[in-house]
Amino acid sequence: MSNPSLSLFDVAQRGMSAQMVRMNAAASNLANAGAVAGSEAEAYRPLRPVFSEQLDASNGLATVNVSSIARSTAAPLRQHDPGNPNADANGDVWAAPVDENAEMVEMLDSSRQYQNLVEALSTAKELILDTVRMK
């Protein structure tokens, strides 16, 4: 089964969708920063979108697909907090290994990429309209 040829608008739309997934993952990670659990297995682990490239050989355009969303392999942080209701028998809790600064950078970068794609679509639309007006 062959895929229909990609257009500039398809490429931009898929890129925008991928950036939204990236922003949502970072937002989820930020929302769970500081969350603690009673065991290492129950601790929140950050989400990471996994992207793959799709090349349209007929026109040379490449776009991105979200292959999956994976959990980070970063180990939760063990903290001694015997007063916490989630503490285990040793008085330890396991904190989510979320780097809030890195997640903010991820959100800002994905937001900028999204905006760049919106501007590219706007420019393409204007060029098409200008071309139609010339006829």
With a CB cutoff of 8 Å and minimum separation 6, the contacts of 104 are 26, 30
Q: Where are the domains of the chain?
A: 8-134
Report residue 34: phi and psi, to 5°: 90, -5
d(CA 123, CA 80): 55
Question: What digits encode the pLDDT tens for the residues 28-62?
Answer: 999 999 999 999 999 999 999 999 998 888 888 88
Residue-wise pLDDT tens digits, 2-36: 456 778 888 999 999 999 999 999 999 999 999 99
